[in-house]
Structure 1
């Protein structure tokens, strides 16, 4: 008995509940990139097997949850095709979860810990990972909210985090103009803290570890204050 297959519209309906930003154009893009290979019916239409759908689930999940670029996803799929289990991708955490009091306690123990590997995405990969449209990304770049890493055409972890948040905030009316104001406030906040720790840095000497620790604490303080404001 021949395996049952689905049309691209049926696949969209199957995946929509788990991946709200899935679209026919995104599925076709993944096919064009060679990540999925649906069969063609005699009529010429694409037909997707259950294996194709599970492959799509994997691709969409690691894009959404782990921000994996297409190059890495392709390597993982090649391993799966050879019967090899791909490495479990590490889930990035855009905002650290430990409370402020735990951060200071743990910082001395974490200085030797391995940092998360950097993310290096092309523009196309950023659009696919974030679910943003080209016009939306253009607006964020024009507002200098999302930008490639300095001196490159590739986007890092922070750009991906902001792009995903921007896409999720858009339905609530938060757009590039508002996010530019948030960025201005963030720059001002960091400027205040940088000025405050300058005497310490002069006494002890410049230290990236100190700057990173202070920045992390500032993130916690900012998040807590926003939550407090929301409770009023």
Structure 2
């Protein structure tokens, strides 16, 4: 199910996130955000806000490329699972497939978070 999101300009993106021109340029360069007709969606805002916070820890956009790669791989897995349903002409089939894709994504994120948290918990051992 497609959700309508408000698109924002570059200046609005920077105002909402506190990102510099240089940071946004780097995020664009590494494919972490993409403008749609010069406008950015809510996912771009989230990525940019996180990149600003991570920059304060010395994390540069080039370090974030691995997240783009992981996301592309995760999407490929999801698309493999729900792809046939998404291609059906029936709106109900596509809606079910979109819901299933969201659930698979949530579970993938749960696994990712648990694995990272497990590794972090071992830091002080």
Q: Give the deviation of 1:117 after TM superposition.
A: 5.8
Aligned partner of 1:223 among 99, 107, 113: 113
Which structure has more RCO (C-alpha within 8 Å, separation ≥ 6)? 2
Of Structure 1 and Structure 2, which has the larger fraction of its residues in helix? 2
CA RMSD in angstroms, aligned pairs only: 2.7
| Structure 1 match to 2:90 | none
Q: Which residue of 1 aligns with 2:35?
A: 148
1:183 and 2:68 are equivalent in the alignment: yes
- The superposition leaves residues 103-144 of structure 1 with CA deviations (integer Å, 9 ceiling, x where unpaired) of xxxxxxxx9xxx976231111000111001111111111111
The size of the alignment, in residue pairs, is 115
Question: CA separation in 2, counterparts of 1:117 and 1:188?
Answer: 25
- Larger-Rg structure: 1
Distance 2:83 2:19 in 1: 43
Provide structure 2 residue ranges, at least 5 long, that are not aligned to the other structure.
87-92
Name the CA distance, whole Å, in 2 between partners of 1:224 and 1:116: 28
Give the TM-score, by structure 1 length.
0.44
> Which structure 2 residues correspond to residues 55-204 of structure 1 after superposition, within 5 A?
118-149=5-36, 152-195=37-80, 197-198=81-82, 201=85
- Unaligned runs of at least 5 residues, structure 1: 1-110
Q: Cα distance, 1:229 vs. partner?
A: 2.0
Change (3 A) 1:199 1:167: closer
Q: For 2:82 and 2:4, locate their aligned partners in 1 and report how far apart those are by CA, in whole Å.
A: 29
Whole-angstrom CA distance in 1 between matches of 2:65 and 2:29: 10
Q: TM-score, normalised by structure 2?
A: 0.76
